[in-house]
Amino acid sequence: MTQPAPQPSGAPGPSGPRAGFGIRLGAFLLDGLIVGIPLNLALFAIDVFVVRQSLGLIVAIAYSVFFIGSGSGQTIGMKICNIRAIDAETGGRVDYGKAVVRYLVGLASGLACLIGYFWMLWDPEKQTWHDKVAGTYVVPTSAYPVAEWPG
């Protein structure tokens, strides 16, 4: 696995190749279909709203944390789109603790009128709020290859 290129102190701009907004959005939408459709069909039988919502959230967190925290750093949607999440400090695997933080801050990013997601459009490192807080980058697999999926 390739490490991110070191950034000279005080130098502006990205320290390595990053996944763009469109490809990240595509992976997010694919994951929404992959998880959302079967999950909603399964939860349809549950009459209690709070139980249904709670189970849906638990499954969504488990899906994201399992795959982002795996050695590949890829959800199924990210694998299809050839991108992955890496630890900003090591350039390697995102640990499960950071994957949980990343997911929870991602929820907050969405609740804040999606500004946390759009943040990457003007950020020099193309990081969303959840990337910044968790200390992750989303990168193309062409520059940061995956040895094994899910790893």
**Would you say residue 38 has pLDDT above 70?**
yes
Considering the domain boundaries, does residue 44 fall inside one?
yes
* Domain-located, residue 8: no
pLDDT at 6: 44
Over the stretch 88-123, which tens digit does the pLDDT of each residue have?
999 999 999 999 999 999 999 999 999 999 999 999
Q: Say how many domains are in the chain.
A: 1
Tens digit of each residue's pLDDT (9 = 90 or more) over 51-89: 999 999 999 999 999 999 999 999 999 999 999 999 999
Helices 49-68 and 96-111 pack at an angle, to 10 degrees, of: 130
pLDDT of residue 8: 38
Q: How confident is the model at residue 16 (pLDDT cuts 50, 70, 90)?
A: confident
Looking at residue 125, its pLDDT comes to: 93
Structure tokens at 2: 């390739």
Asked whether the predicted pLDDT for residue 2 surpasses 70, the reply is: no
Assess if residue 45 is contained within a domain.
Answer: yes
Domain, as residue range, for 81: 21-140
| Mean per-residue pLDDT over the chain, rounded | 90
Residue 25 falls inside a structural domain:
yes
Q: Is the pLDDT of residue 10 over 60?
A: no
| Burial zone of 17 (CB within 10 Å; 0-12 exposed, 13-18 middle, 19+ buried) | middle
Domain assignment present for residue 63? The answer is yes
CA distances, 5 to each of 8, 82, 110, 135, 139 (Å): 10, 20, 30, 16, 12
In a domain, 149, yes or no: no
Report pLDDT for 63: 97
- Residue with the bigger pLDDT between 64 and 44: it is 64
Identify whether 38 is part of a domain. Answer: yes
In a domain, residue 16? The reply is no
Q: Let me know: does 99 contact 75? Beta carbons within 8 Å.
A: no
Model pTM above 0.85: yes
